[in-house]
């Protein structure tokens, strides 16, 4: 069966520090991968999605970036965090693009101080 | 343009009473519709999906939803609420045009009163 792992679960970082959140999927090949952010009291905001290795589409201009170095690995990064980067980050995968049926990781809670 | 509206940001029901979470959509085509549930500090889990088959869709944990094209609605219901149903629920629309992105509603937080 397919599983998705996301880490770290919780992160507290000072403003200006770097960020790396990792996500891996097991049990499937060539998944579509997504990074969402969920700010307090808001819905889900799609940040990045990837249909294949090295293929990244950015939905919202910001100081975050994403990379897909391997088929089932998706990394969210920042060189310098801002206070506004605080939130709950969710990685997800789907079998095909825009299927609507997404499988989510457990999330990473980022607090920038 | 496609959109999805969850009409209530918070819903409170007593344990054992029915649950109704409302969702309306706007789409140029017949969309696929989904409901997800999110418990605190957890990822989202698919509850059920409508993909142009039967209009009444049954999901996990006793939830079901009915697609009503004339009302452009996809409301989520459960006959009897349980304390474990306390969570946030998201209505999602996937337009038939695959160039259009999946759209999440803003969510409805369901509170269960003892």
Instruction: Check CB contact under 8 Å for A97 and B98.
Output: yes
Name the residue among A98, A104, A88, A86 with its Cα closest to residue A23: A104
Structure confidence by residue, pLDDT tens digits, A39-97: 876 789 999 999 999 999 988 867 899 999 999 999 999 999 999 999 999 999 998 77
Q: What span, in angstroms and rounded, lies between the C-alpha atoms of A93 and A74?
A: 10
Q: Is A7 on the interface with B (CB under 8 A)?
A: no
Kindly report which listed range (A1-15, A65-79, B39-53, B66-80) carries the lowest average pLDDT score.
B39-53
- Chain A stretch 23-62, residues whose beta carbon is closer than 8 A to a beta carbon of chain B: 42-44, 46, 59
- Quick one: how far is CA B102 from the chain centroid? 14
Q: Are A39 and A97 in contact (CB under 8 A)?
A: no
Higher local confidence (pLDDT), B52 or A14: A14
| pLDDT of res. A62 | 79
Q: Which two tokens stand for residue A61?
A: 């201009």
Structure confidence by residue, pLDDT tens digits, B62-101: 999 999 989 999 999 999 999 999 999 999 988 766 666 7
Site from B36, B39, B40, B44 to mutate, A interface, most A CB atoms within 10 angstroms: B44
């Amino acid at each position: 069966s397919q599983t998705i792992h996301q880490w770290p679960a919780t992160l507290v970082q000072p403003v200006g520090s770097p960020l790396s959140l990792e996500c891996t999927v097991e049990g499937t090949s060539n998944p579509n991968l997504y990074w969402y952010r969920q700010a307090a009291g808001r819905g889900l905001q799609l940040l990045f999605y990837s249909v294949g290795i090295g293929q990244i589409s950015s939905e919202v201009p910001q100081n975050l970036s994403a990379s897909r170095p391997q088929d089932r690995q998706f990394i969210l990064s920042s060189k310098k965090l801002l206070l506004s980067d605080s939130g709950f980050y969710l990685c997800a995968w789907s079998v095909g693009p825009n299927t609507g049926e997404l499988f989510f990781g457990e999330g990473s809670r980022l607090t920038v101080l | 343009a496609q959109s999805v509206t969850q009409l209530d940001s918070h819903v409170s029901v007593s344990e054992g009473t029915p649950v109704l979470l409302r969702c309306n959509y706007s789409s140029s085509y017949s969309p696929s519709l989904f409901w997800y549930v999110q418990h605190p500090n957890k990822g989202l889990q698919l509850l059920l999906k409508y993909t142009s088959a039967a209009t009444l869709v049954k999901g996990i944990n006793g939830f079901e939803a009915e697609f009503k094209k004339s009302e452009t609605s996809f409301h989520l219901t459960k006959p009897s609420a349980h304390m474990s149903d306390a969570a946030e629920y998201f209505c999602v629309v996937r337009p038939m045009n695959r160039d259009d992105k999946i759209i999440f509603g803003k969510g409805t937080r369901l509170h269960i009163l003892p």
